[in-house]
Amino acid sequence: GYGADQIQHLEGIDGIRHRPQMYIGSTDNVGLHHIVFEVTDNVLDEFVNGYAKTLSVTINADGSVTVADDGRGIPVGKMKDKDQSALEVVFTEIHAGGKFDRKAYTTGTGGLHGVGITATNACSEWLEAEVRREGHVWTMGFAQGRLTTPLSKLGATEQTGTKITFKPDSAIFSTTVL
């Protein structure tokens, strides 16, 4: 039977990597762009709420993409009732609503789940997040959606914002050329 255990097993990152089409629509060039838009949608949310003024999207020489903004920065504090930072949760869990559901206002593509930047992370060979917030630069790294570099606090800064660099995973996409 297809019991609760099996369903549980395929939640989150594993679920997205097992059936990417269900979350990003396709694994062709359209799906490839979808994981970029999942990030820029978050930045547009910061913009419409009056927090971000600039957004840059850069396709790097190695095929990775950098999306940078000067919004509030993804929260880095520990989540209530959890042993993880908000930053880690934003990148590793599928959000069904509440404060961290940033896509409640969008329809998504063809009624797909608004899985947000967790889908981008799950479909990336690697992803690096750099946050400027609460007086410091913070970083965290992932490979195929799994945490590889825990949250680390770097130098001081007065700025706020988020810079996300990710390499679309050729194990998922039929093309990784944007």
Interacting residues toward ligand 0RA by CB under 6 A = 39, 42-43, 46, 69, 71-72, 74-75, 90, 100, 102, 117, 162
Q: What SS3 state is found at 96? A: coil
Amino acid present at 48: V
- How many Å separate Cα 71 from the centre of its chain? 15
Task: Identify which of residues 42 and 118 has a Cβ nearer to ligand 0RA in the complex.
Answer: 42
Q: How near is the Cβ of 133 to ligand 0RA at its closest, in Å?
A: 8
Q: How near is the Cβ of 164 to ligand 0RA at its closest, in Å?
A: 6
- Strand pairing category for 136-143 and 124-133: antiparallel
Task: Identify which of residues 54 and 148 has a Cβ nearer to ligand 0RA in the complex.
Answer: 54
Q: How near is the Cβ of 3 to ligand 0RA at its closest, in Å?
A: 33
Task: Identify which of residues 90 and 137 has a Cβ nearer to ligand 0RA in the complex.
Answer: 90
Residues in the chain: 178
Q: How near is the Cβ of 2 to ligand 0RA at its closest, in Å?
A: 33
Task: Identify which of residues 16 and 74 has a Cβ nearer to ligand 0RA in the complex.
Answer: 74
Instruction: Report how far apart, in Å, the C-alpha atoms of 107 and of each of 41, 95, 104, 120 are.
Output: 12, 15, 8, 17
Structure tokens at 99: 């404060």
Query: What are residue 152's phi and psi, to 5 degrees?
Result: -130, 145
Task: Tell me the C-alpha distance between 65 and 70, whole Å.
Answer: 17
- Closest residue to ligand 0RA, Cβ-based? 42
